[in-house]
């Protein structure tokens, strides 16, 4: 698997997902906002919906569906890797000195659970009765949970030139990118095929960038949202690395309002075929601030890139990059429904092949409009999955697609 993607819609061959687990049960009415959820989901129902999603992908495409937990356990068998991750995860609570004790008392599979679902002081005390946890309350987290891990789109991104490992903006998600990067840089199935574009060498605290903001417009062009989650500096470095690699010739920086319902560029639009884009009414026209990065020259091993501020809307850019562009609006533009359906990620469908998408069943008006255009729409249940405010594209990390 060469871990590069040159379209958003080539027939899916392999995808990474995470079946939600105990990390979801960490959500309460008090921490849900901090942990970026709209509500407190019912885990069993959430898992059923997620299973329906992953099974549908397998049945409809025959693609290989990797599960994060299995990949993680495999790399954690290397004790140095495990120790490093556990130490890193304990930094926030100031309990790094407990890392070795944890490794001694928990199995590798249990450590994988701790790294995803977190660990509370009182849970740790069961294994270490004389635990000195300082000022921390029994209900505090020694290791914080990652309830957003089923949004596999965000901790990294595949591009035509290689992989961008995210540096995640919000406190509640920061550990996710470490898990993914550790897997891809160490797992035997992947490590030799990783061309890391970001973070660049020597960046300890890289500026933030998240996978949901990165959309491959074509084998030669990539759009990155400058958003609530992705910083201008990160876009600059990622653009420079992509342009230096050579596959991508143009990187667009798209300024989004820094608001929760625009949190990532893929909440605004998704690409379903070589000339079909799904978006919500007015979004493409109202995004007016954009910039374009191109390569100037590579001289004495130094890469120089050019940034042009464009007075063009996102629509104009898409029209230039995608010949014969056809645009479909969520709920077909119906003012009574398009906002509702956009809120629950109507524009965020997951393309499993050209004009073949998986969509939330609740977005009935959008799904109907897609079908009227001849798109094959496969639906998944969405009562619980949608409470995290992410849609089918957000929940998937395609690792391989047929080239288009």
Ligand X SMILES: NC(=[NH2+])NCCC[C@H](N)C(=O)O
35-54 residues near ligand X, rule: CB under 6 A: 36
Residue 199, preceding peptide bond in cis (omega within 30° of 0) = yes
394 touches ligand X by CB under 6 A: yes
Whether residue 394 lies in the annotated active site: yes
* Pick 76 or 347: Cβ nearer ligand X: 347
27 touches ligand X by CB under 6 A: no
Residue 201 CB: number of other CB atoms within 10 A?
A: 5
C-alpha span between 300 and 352 (Å, rounded): 42
- Asked whether the beta carbons of 404 and 7 are under 8 A apart, the reply is yes
- Segment interacting with ligand X (CB under 6 A) among 130-138, 238-246, 259-267, 376-384: 259-267
390 touches ligand X by CB under 6 A: yes
* Pick 222 or 305: Cβ nearer ligand X: 222
263 touches ligand X by CB under 6 A: yes
C-alpha span between 329 and 75 (Å, rounded): 43
Q: Say if strands 221-226 and 250-255 run parallel, antiparallel, or are unpaired.
A: parallel
Rounded least distance, CB 54 to ligand X, Å: 17
Q: Say if strands 12-17 and 397-401 run parallel, antiparallel, or are unpaired.
A: antiparallel
264 touches ligand X by CB under 6 A: yes
- The half-sphere exposure of 70 on its side-chain side, counting CA atoms within 13 A, is 8
Rounded least distance, CB 299 to ligand X, Å: 37
Distances (CA, A) of 382 to 205, 211, 361: 36, 22, 6
143-172 residues near ligand X, rule: CB under 6 A: 148, 151, 153-154
How big is the CA angle at 371 (ends 369 and 374), to the nearest 5 degrees? 120
Rounded least distance, CB 179 to ligand X, Å: 15
DSSP state of 104: H
Rounded least distance, CB 213 to ligand X, Å: 8
How big is the CA angle at 352 (ends 230 and 156), to the nearest 5 degrees? 25
- Asked whether the beta carbons of 203 and 253 are under 8 A apart, the reply is no
- The half-sphere exposure of 367 on its side-chain side, counting CA atoms within 13 A, is 15
- Segment interacting with ligand X (CB under 6 A) among 44-52, 155-163, 370-378, 383-391: 383-391
179-218 residues near ligand X, rule: CB under 6 A: 212
- The half-sphere exposure of 321 on its side-chain side, counting CA atoms within 13 A, is 26
- Asked whether the beta carbons of 281 and 330 are under 8 A apart, the reply is yes
Q: Which residue is nearest to ligand X (CB)?
A: 212
Rounded least distance, CB 217 to ligand X, Å: 17
266 touches ligand X by CB under 6 A: yes
* Pick 114 or 385: Cβ nearer ligand X: 385
Rounded least distance, CB 147 to ligand X, Å: 8
Q: Of residues 6, 226, 267, 400, which one binds ligand X by CB under 6 A?
A: 267
Could you tell me the maximum CA-CA distance found in the chain, to the nearest angstrom?
68
Write the interaction track for ligand X spanning residues 211-250; mark x where CB under 6 A is met and - where it is not: -x--------------------------------------
Residue 59 CB: number of other CB atoms within 10 A?
A: 10
89-148 residues near ligand X, rule: CB under 6 A: 148
- Segment interacting with ligand X (CB under 6 A) among 237-245, 276-284, 309-317, 385-393: 385-393
- Asked whether the beta carbons of 253 and 293 are under 8 A apart, the reply is yes
Rounded least distance, CB 228 to ligand X, Å: 9
- Asked whether the beta carbons of 232 and 193 are under 8 A apart, the reply is no
Question: Per the residue annotation, which of 76, 90, 394, 399 is the catalytic one?
Answer: 394
Q: Which chain residues interact with ligand X by CB under 6 A?
A: 36, 148, 151, 153-154, 173, 212, 263-264, 266-267, 388-390, 394
Give the active site residues: 394
């Amino acid at each position: 698997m060469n871990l590069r993607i040159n379209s958003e819609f080539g027939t899916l061959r392999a995808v990474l997902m995470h079946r939600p687990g105990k990390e979801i049960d960490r959500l309460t009415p008090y921490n849900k906002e901090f942990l970026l959820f709209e509500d407190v989901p019912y885990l069993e129902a959430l898992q059923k919906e997620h299973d329906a999603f992953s099974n549908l992908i397998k049945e409809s495409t025959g693609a290989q569906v990797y599960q994060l937990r299995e990949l993680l356990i495999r790399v954690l068998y290397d004790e140095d890797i495990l120790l490093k991750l556990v130490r890193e995860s304990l930094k926030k609570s100031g309990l790094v000195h407990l890392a070795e004790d944890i490794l001694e008392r928990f199995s590798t599979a249990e450590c994988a659970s701790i790294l995803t679902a977190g660990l509370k002081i009182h849970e740790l005390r069961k294994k270490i009765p004389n635990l000195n946890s300082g000022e921390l309350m029994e209900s505090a987290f020694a290791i914080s949970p990652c309830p957003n891990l089923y949004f596999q789109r965000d901790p990294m991104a595949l591009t035509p030139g290689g992989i961008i490992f995210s540096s995640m903006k919000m406190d509640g998600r920061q550990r996710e990118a470490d898990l993914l990067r550790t897997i891809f840089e160490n797992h035997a199935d992947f490590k030799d095929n990783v061309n890391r574009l970001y973070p660049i060498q020597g960046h300890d605290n890289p500026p933030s960038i998240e996978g949901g903001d990165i959309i491959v417009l074509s084998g030669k062009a990539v759009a990155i949202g400058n958003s609530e989650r992705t910083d201008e500096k990160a876009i600059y470095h990622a653009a420079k690395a992509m342009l230096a690699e050579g596959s991508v010739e143009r990187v667009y920086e798209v300024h989004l309002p820094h608001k929760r319902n625009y949190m990532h560029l893929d909440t605004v639009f998704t690409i379903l075929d070589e000339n079909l884009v799904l978006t919500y009414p007015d979004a493409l026209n109202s995004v007016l601030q954009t910039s374009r990065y191109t390569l100037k020259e590579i001289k004495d091993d130094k890469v120089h890139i050019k940034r042009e501020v464009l007075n063009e809307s996102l629509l104009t850019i898409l029209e230039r990059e995608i010949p014969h562009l056809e645009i479909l609006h969520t709920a077909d533009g119906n003012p009574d429904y398009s906002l509702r359906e956009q809120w629950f990620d109507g524009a965020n469908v997951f393309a499993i092949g050209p004009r073949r998408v998986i969509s939330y069943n609740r977005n009935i008006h959008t799904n109907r409009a897609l079908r009227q255009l001849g798109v094959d729409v496969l639906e998944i249940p969405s009562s619980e999955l949608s409470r995290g405010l992410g849609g089918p594209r957000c929940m998937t990390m395609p690792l391989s697609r047929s080239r288009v």
